[in-house]
Homo-oligomer: A and B are copies of this chain.
């Protein structure tokens, strides 16, 4: 920054959230239906304006998360995605939006608490269809968030944050398959994932979901990066 003319341009800063989860066989995103103009009745990301006095960006994201969905930031992975500042993105004026992505396990209930009028979970594939529109430039943000999720599965242990506290290797593989939209060999996936030190810690428990041999249960381990990476084809 090279300082000088200390004016206050009329710009507002918002924080928006792309909250992703895996549910019912698809990657879903939490959206709100707007209750007031602009874009009344259209779909938008949960979010709000940054309060200038009392919070940094990460705190603002955590606050909006709790206000609009009831989720707690400590329970999920929340990271900055990108900042959007196109000129025409908000008809009310100049709004720069700092966007965050969150990854959560199958949510207890969208629990439309707080500010939000109506909170819904939708498969991202539905939202990203060409004929579907969203408020502001939020559709582009959704696409970027999904892309981020897909990439992070490759080289981090993030996949497990989409799973319940205790999960089987098949649960985890299905997360990969759903997010990537790609079939994976269960045998090779099993071997690879169990060979990454610190990714999975066995609980000792076993479950039978539908039929067949019971699967071992695991919890998330301390590892955060995946080495060697799980590469897509």
Copies in the complex: 2
- Judge whether A10 and B47 touch: CB under 8 Å: no
- Inter-chain CA distance A10–B53, complex, in Å, is 9
Contacts of A98 in B (CB 8 A): 83, 85, 96
- Judge whether B13 and A68 touch: CB under 8 Å: no
- Judge whether A136 and B56 touch: CB under 8 Å: no
Contacts of A87 in B (CB 8 A): 54-56
Contacts of A44 in B (CB 8 A): 1-2
Minimal beta-carbon separation of A14 from chain B (angstroms): 5
- Judge whether A34 and B83 touch: CB under 8 Å: no
- Inter-chain CA distance A211–B34, complex, in Å, is 69
Minimal beta-carbon separation of A167 from chain B (angstroms): 29
Residue of B4, B32, B116, B117 near A115 (CB, 8 A) is B4
Contacts of A48 in B (CB 8 A): 1-2, 4
Contacts of A85 in B (CB 8 A): 13, 50, 56-57, 60, 98
Residue of B4, B11, B32 near A13 (CB, 8 A) is B11
**In this assembly, does A147 line the interface, its C-beta being within 8 Å of a C-beta of chain B?**
no
**In this assembly, does A80 line the interface, its C-beta being within 8 Å of a C-beta of chain B?**
yes
Q: Size class of A's contact patch?
A: 35 or more
Contacts of A138 in B (CB 8 A): 1
In chain B, what residue has the closest Cβ to A89? B56
In chain B, what residue has the closest Cβ to A119? B2
Minimal beta-carbon separation of A215 from chain B (angstroms): 32
In chain B, what residue has the closest Cβ to A98? B83
In chain B, what residue has the closest Cβ to A7? B49
Residue of B16, B92, B94, B135 near A52 (CB, 8 A) is B94
Contacts of A84 in B (CB 8 A): 57
Starting from the known contacts A4-B48, A9-B51, A80-B83, 20 additional A-B residue pairs (CB-CB under 8 Å) come to A1-B16, A1-B44, A1-B46, A1-B97, A2-B32, A2-B47, A2-B48, A2-B68, A2-B115, A3-B36, A6-B92, A9-B49, A9-B50, A9-B52, A11-B11, A53-B94, A56-B87, A57-B96, A83-B98, A96-B98
12 A–B contacts from the bound complex (CB under 8 Å) = A2-B116, A2-B117, A3-B34, A3-B36, A5-B49, A9-B50, A13-B13, A50-B85, A57-B83, A80-B82, A85-B98, A96-B96
